[in-house]
Structure formats: structure tokens, C-alpha cells
Structure 1
Amino acid sequence: MRQFLQNAVLMGATALLLAACSNEEQNEQPAPPPPEVEVMTVEPRPIANIIEIPGRVQAVRIAEIRARVNGIIQKRLYEEGTDVDVGTPLFQIDPREMRAELKSAEASLERAKATAQNAAQDVKRYEGLVAKQAISQQEYDTALATLRTARADVSQAEASVQSAELNLEYTTVTSPIEGRAGRAQITEGALVNGSEGTLLTTVEQFDPVYVNFAQSSSDLLRIRAQLASGELELSEDGRVEVRLILENGSEFQHPGYINFYAMSIDETTGTVAVRAQFPNPDRLLLPGQFVRARVNAGTRPNGVLIPQRAVVVNDQGARVLLVGEDDKVASREVELGDLQGSQWLIREGLEAGDVVIVEGGGSVRSGAPVRTVAYEPETPPQDASDAESSQ
């Protein structure tokens, strides 16, 4: 019996010893590995300084076709919405009254010329008589005055003829520019007034076109300061390129260039009027159309772009998470520039060689160790047509 008790105590002690060893082994299990994050290394490079501004398309030239004489519209000579050249007839005003006025002016001119010719003959005849003292000097002077008056009447009659010819010419209304003729504002049989300048139609030139937009004065001052400090550099030719984004989101294929800056600031909006000119051979841009202008306002020689998802933006500002040489996380404030696509332009806060966390930063804290892998940007899926063309 005693032997049985001793064996039982020995077995219990052995079980307790094994249990204690098992707990120690469980407590000494290795800690989990640091979380894995995707990182990118900052590499400054030349980056275009793109400013996106809304704008409106404007025709380069707009001609308002107005009546210059009184009369009745006999016929519309063009098809609405078609292209016309310089001098293309657009409307015909009844010319009969103008022809009658021209004939009357020509008759007055002939009469004035006859009177002047007769006065010239009198003066020539009086020259010999006054030399012989057959007539008085006063009579001769009167003949000279009559001749001058007659010649003035001739000049006035010639001007009346020219005016009548112009009025007759104005009865055929033509286009002063090349462009697209719009809708007629009057119909056949309508009475038009030359003194009031009755509007008949408009002709607009669509190639090239202007795009007007407004740039805030603060942005303009900042760009000038950056150019002066060397933070921005203009192209060698000094031209500022502009690209257009159309209303459907597509990009207009032809670039334009700024050709006008207003030298004053609008007191109401605090903006500066800016205009760019674009070629428009396919007539895709129409006057009044809304577009978004992407202005290439210089190049940053040492620009930094990082993915949008790598930046945390809140009321206090913008921050990024970095990985130091000890593989520990550190937080740093940055100054954001413009959002270019899916990337932020970083003005201040990052330098060459900094390792920025792009993915996985939401599960780590500052000072915590991490494991890093290179960040691979997502590539957009390839269209079937592109895939076939690449094979």
C-alpha cells in the first residue's frame, strides 16, 4: 500500500513538471513578424507645372452682317450654316431705287461739268478783253469766281455719284471675312434700315479659335515668384502650351499657346483674363463651348510626385509615412501642390532618397518596425483592340 502511494505521488509530480515545461514552451513562442508595407523611393525629376482652369471657346473673328442702305430684301443668296469666302453674296436688297439715285447723280454731274466748261470759256474770253480794258476788272473777277463755283459743283456732283454707286453696291450684301454663315435674321420681303444697321446674319471664323479663361491673381503672383527663384523654368522659346479637356472627358488633339494676358485684375473676381489660340481644322471646338484648359506653366526641374494614396490629408495638413534606415516608421508633414491625375505634387517635405509608404500604412504606427517591398503601380487594363494591334 505504501508503495502504491509513493508511485501515485511520483506520477503526480511528474505530470506537474511536464505541465510546467509545456507552459514555458508556449510562453517562449517567437513574436509575429513586422507588417509588410509597399514603399517607393523619392526620385526628383523634371515635372510639368500643370494648372487646370475652366474656359470658353470664342471665334477668332465674328462679322455681324448688317444692312447699309434702306430697302426691301429680295432674296437670301446663301445657305444657312455653310462656309463662305470673302465677298460671297449673302443677301440682295431691291436695287431699283439706288439705280435711280445713281442716274440722278450722274445727270447732276453732267450739268455741273457743262456749267464749269461754260464758265471756263467766259474767263478765257474775258482775259483778252480786260487786257484791252474793254471790260472792267470787276467783271473779270466775277467770271473767275463763277468758274471756281462751277468747279466746286463738279466736285460735289462727283462725290454724289460715288455715294450713289456705293449705295447701289451695298444692295448686294457680301461677307467681309471667310467663315461659317449663321442663321438669317430676316426673311425675303423684310424692310431693312441702313441708318439703324438692321442685323441680317453673322459670319464666324472657327479655325483657329480662341479659348478665354481667368487665372487668379494669387496663382499668377506665385508663378512669377517661382520663376524668379528658379523653382520653375519656362521653355526656351518662352511660349506657354495649353491643352484642352472637352466636355466628354477626351483631350483635344491640337495644343494651343497663350497669346494674351490682361494687364489688369478684375476687381469683382480677383482674376486676370488670359487667352490662348488653338488650331481647329476639324471644327470640334465651337464658340461658347465649355472646356478645361490645362496650362503648362513652366517645368519644375526637381519635382516630386507620389501616389495620392500615400498622403493622409486632414484639417491639420498633409502627412506621409516614411521608413528610416532602421526599418521603423516615421511621420512627416508635407506641403501639397496640384493633384496631377492620381498623384500629388509635393512642394516641400520630401527629399531624394526618402522611402515613402504607399500601401499598408494604415495598420502601422510611428516608430513601429516594418518589412518593405517595392510598390508596383497598377497598370490600366489593355483594350482588346490594343492587344490585337500589339500582337
Structure 2
Amino acid sequence: MTSACPTLGPRRNTVRGLVPVLALMGAVLLAGCGKSEDEGKGQRPPPKVGFIVAAPSAVPQPVTLGGRTVAFETSEVRPQVAGVIQRRLFTEGSYVRAGEPLFQIDPSLYRASVNQAQANVASARASADAAVVRAQRLKPLAEIQAVAAQDYTDAAAQARVARATVAQNAAALETARVNLRFTTVPAPISGRIGRSLVTVGGLASNSQETPLAIIQRTDPMFVDMQQSAADLSTLRRKLRSGGLDAGSTQVTLKLDDGSDYPQTGTVQFSEVTVNQETGTVTLRARFPNPQGTLLPGTFVNAVFNQAIETNAFLVPQQAVLHDFDGSAYVMLVGPKDKAGGNKAARRKVVATRTYGASWVVTSGLARGDRIILQGLNGLKHGAPIVPVPANAPQDTTKAPRGGAGGGSGQGANPKQGS
């Protein structure tokens, strides 16, 4: 009896020592199983992203050039005879028509010249008639040798001289009449006339430097635009190489107050020489101006599509992202992996300008590329995705808040670009 107690005592102690160890192992196993189940419940499917298919299109390349308005026609009203201004026959600032009288110069001297020329013509005609009759009378006498042949020859010559004198005096009479008509100064063209540069009582001369007034025709109106000769040379080189097509000649205007001019103009021509002081070439456009809105000398901005990019891509602005260095990139739907799933692919593009609500991408895209437009928040290169057309409804409840892989699209590693 005494020897059995020491043997049973240690076994009981061993069993009691194993109980805590087994309990701890069970707790560890249970904890491991619970964690696996929680992790399995936390996994989410790849997010759906909306994409559009890239297709090249013809994109106009607009250019904005500063310019000045120029009157379609400008004429200086100048006197063609000398004399004192008697009357001004127009209202300053009004519209005048071609041939309308504007000034009246004192016609007294010119009317007297007409009278004198008329008298000279009458005298010459009388002398010519007498010479012709004498020659006619001598002709039959000379034929029968009743008078010397030389007498008839002289009479015939005098008759011809008399007729020439009549013609000379008639020409002088016409000149006198023209000068008399010039005493009424007409409008050479139709248009808006400015202020009178001479006053009644002033002396007008056909050799004076200052015009009597200036008339400008402002409908239609020219706009002279200035473009850099270097830019124009680059454009022409691209047109020859086939990278661009010729654009439209239609031009729109923005006035100096920022408003749009309602009429559309047309480019007429460009100068063949370069301004040596400014290094620019002048282009001229023609605009209708029925309401007289455009005034000569006004500064305007002309906008027109000087060329067309034939192989550019129009990509919505929200699909074009930018790195910290300013370079542009887009996220594409990449090819399927071995498991049959799609992944996002990052690709750099060249997008230097916008057209409407889209970026114009000139490099980096190919026809058929699927550009991700929706679901870009936090999307990274290589992240698994489920692509659907962008116009399909998006199930945003399953998309993880942090995106696939977390982080911002603009903070993606540039080295990941495909």
C-alpha cells in the first residue's frame, strides 16, 4: 500500500499538466480556422470598368490670329480743278453713293472758258466752210485748165486745214466743258464719308496734298491677320508630307470686347512676302458687314481651322490622366491572361490640346484599343478588371473603395506603362 502511492502520484500530475497545453492548442486551431473564414469572406471580385473603343477621326486644327479690320474700298476725294469752295453738299458721317455731288467749286472761270471755246469752234467752222466752197469751185476749173492746178491744190489744202482747226477747237471746247463739270466734286465710290477736311471759302487745287474728304466702303470688310512665318512654314511642310489635310477657309471673329461677330468670313489669300520687322505673313479674310458693326482699324481675333489632323483620336477628358511630370497616359483594357481574366494596362500618350470636351491624342493609341473611361479611381497597371462598354450601367456596390491595389491613378509608377 505504501509503495503504490508514490507511483500514482506522478501520473496524476502529468495528466493535470497536459490539460492546459491541449486547451491552448485547440484555441490556436480554432483561431486559425476563424481567420481563414474571415479572409475568405473579405475577398472581393475584380471591379467593373467602362471602356470605349478607340477609333481615329479627322480633327480640325484651329488657329487664333490677331488682326485688324480694313475697309473694302477707300477713296480720297480730291479736286481736279482749282478754285474756291462755294458749298459742301453732303452730311458728314453719312452714306454717299458713287457720283453723288459732294463739293461745289466756283465755276465762273470755267464757264467763261466754255463760252470762249464755243466761239472758237464757231469761227473755225465758218472759215472751214469758206475754204471748202472755194476748193469745190476751183476743182472743175482746174480740170479744164481754166486756172492753174496749183491754185486748186492750195485751196484743197486750206479746206483740210480749216476742218482740222474745227476739230482742235471742238476738243478745246470739250476740255472746257469737262473742267466745268469738275467744279462739282462727285463721290468716286459708294460708302461712308468722314468729316470734311476743307471748309467753305477754302482754296482747292488739283495739286494739293490734303484730300477734301475720305470715303470708306465697309460692307464687305477685310480682316488682315498676322501669322508667324515659322508656323506657316511648318504647316505647309506637314501638308506636303501628308500628316495634315488642308482645312476650311471659313473664319469666325471675336471682337475686342470678347463677343462673337455673328457673320462668318472667308480667307481670301496670304501675302507672298514676310514682314522683315515682325517676321509675320499677312492673311486676308473677307466678312459681310451689313449692319456696320465692324469699323476700320478695329482689333479682332480671327479663328479658323487652318488644317485637319486625319489620324488623331478624340478621347474624353476624364479618360486622360497626367503624371506629376505632366506627361499624359490612359488606362486600357489589356489582353486576357492565362486564367481568362482581363487586367488594366497603362500607356503613355501624346495629348497637347483639347477639342471640345475631348483631348486630341496624336500618338500612343491604335485603332481598336479599349480605353477605360469609368472606374478609374485608384486603378493601377496590372489590376484585374471586368471590362464592360462605357454606356452599360455600372455596379459600383462591388467596387472596392480603394480601387484594385489602392492608390491614385495619377500616382501610378511610370515604369509600369505598357
TM-score (norm 1): 0.74
Secondary structure in 2 matching 1:48: strand
- AA aligned opposite 1:347: T
Of residues 324, 330, 345, the one that matches 1:321 is 330
- Which of 135, 158, 168 lines up with 1:146 in the alignment? 158
- Residues in 1 aligned to 2:171 and 2:361: alpha-carbon distance in whole angstroms: 73
Q: CA contact under 8 A between 1:81 and 1:180: conserved in structure 2? A: yes
Matched, 1:232 2:245: yes
Matched, 1:115 2:124: no
Partner of 2:407: none
Q: Distance in 2 between matches of 1:328 and 1:199?
A: 76
Within 1, Cα distance between the matches of 2:387 and 2:299? 46
Q: How many aligned residue pairs are there? A: 361
Separation (CA, whole Å) in 2 of partners of 1:327 and 1:114? 114
- Seen in structure 2, the aligned counterparts of structure 1 residues 196 and 225 have a Cα distance that, compared at 3 Å, is farther
Q: 1:313 to 1:118 in 2, by over 3 A?
A: farther
With over 3 angstroms needed to count, the CA separation of the structure-2 counterparts of 1:101 and 1:248, relative to structure 1, is same
State the shift of 1:67 in Å.
1.0
Give secondary structure in 2 for the equivalent of 1:242: strand
Provide the rounded CA distance (Å) in 1 between the counterparts of 2:266 and 2:291: 18
Q: Distance in 2 between matches of 1:140 and 1:316?
A: 110
Quick one: distance in 1 between partners of 2:357 and 2:104?
59
> What percentage of residue pairs aligned between the two structures are identical?
34
Q: How many angstroms does 1:77 deviate by?
A: 1.0
From 209, 213, 216, the counterpart of 1:204: 216
Residue 264 of structure 2, aligned match among 240, 250, 255:
255
Q: Following TM superposition, by how much is the alpha carbon of 1:38 offset from its aligned partner in structure 2, in angstroms?
A: 8.9
Rg larger in structure: 2
The 2-side partners of 1:222 and 1:123 are apart by 83
Residue 239 of structure 2 contacts residue 246 of structure 2 at CA under 8 Å; is this kept in 1?
Answer: no
Give 3-state SS (helix, strand or coil) of 1:63's partner: strand
Cα distance, 1:71 vs structure 2:
1.0
> Do the aligned residues in 2 keep the contact of 1:322 with 1:357 (CA within 8 Å)?
yes
Instruction: Provide the secondary structure at the position in 2 that maps to 1:122.
Output: helix
* 1:368–1:265 distance in 2 versus 1, CA, 3 Å: farther
1:189-237 CA distances to partner (integer Å, 9 max, x unpaired)? 11111134641112222222222224423223323443xx6x5376xxx
Q: Distance in 1 between matches of 2:81 and 2:326?
A: 68
Q: CA RMSD in A?
A: 4.2
Distance 1:54 1:369 in 2: 51
1:282 corresponds in structure 2 to 291
Amino acid at match of 2:364: G
Equivalent residue runs for 1:36-47 within 5 Å: 42-47=54-59
Q: Which moved more, 1:122-131 or 1:359-368?
A: 359-368
Name the counterpart of 1:292: 301
Q: Partner residue of 1:194?
A: 206
Distance in 2 of aligned mates of 1:137 and 1:197 = 61
Provide closer, same or farther for how the CA distance between residues 118 and 184 of structure 1 changes in structure 2, counting only shifts above 3 A.
Answer: same
User: Once the two structures are superposed, what CA deviation does each residue of 1:93-136 show, in whole Å capped at 9, x if it has no partner?
Assistant: 11112111111221221122122222212212322343343443
Q: Tell me, what secondary structure is at the counterpart of 1:232? A: strand
Calculate the TM-score normalised by the size of structure 2. Answer: 0.70
Contact 2:51-2:388 at 8 Å conserved across structures = yes
Matches within 5 A, 1:360-379: none
Tell me the distance in 2 between the aligned counterparts of 1:61 and 1:315: 55
Instruction: Give 1:366 shift.
Output: 5.3
SS at match of 2:166: helix
In structure 2, list runs of 5 or more residues that go unmatched.
1-12, 335-341, 392-418
Q: Does 1:48 align with 2:64?
A: no
| 1:76, distance to aligned residue in structure 2 (A) | 1.4
Amino acid at match of 1:182: G
Instruction: Measure, in 1, the Cα distance between the counterparts of 2:53 and 2:362.
Output: 16
Q: Give the AA of the match of 2:329.
A: V
